[in-house]
Structure 1
Amino acid sequence: DGVDRSDVVLGRQGAGRRDRRSRQKQLRRECNVLRLAEVEHGLHVQLLRISTKLTSGRIPKRS
């Protein structure tokens, strides 16, 4: 019982602030993940272009 009550009290005290902070952190994380995905995709596309240029006519493409 004591543990439950303390959790509730702590939750009430810092609920608003924590929620806002965690939401901002989540949004930032999601943005970072999206940016990383875009960057990685761009790099991947570039690598594919380079590799196809290098290997075109010599080695058949591997899918």
Structure 2
Amino acid sequence: MFSQGQFIFAGFFFVAFSIAMIYAYRKDLALHRKFYKGNYKILIGFGVFIGILFLIKVFFKR
């Protein structure tokens, strides 16, 4: 389905993209700590909301 060259390109792209993302995150780490403090609460709330929707789906399916 894919040629060997496409797989090699995908591998190099993935490695380069990962390095660039890590570099960018490290560079902005101080800003993330300052402006995005407490984001884990939103993530937990979102997970609880998805869980409630799943429970509602299972409850009304019966």
Q: TM-score by structure 2 length? A: 0.49
Which of 1 and 2 has higher RCO (CA within 8 Å, sep 6+)? Answer: 1
State TM-score, norm by structure 1.
0.49
When Rg is computed on C-alpha atoms for both structures, the one with the higher figure is: 1
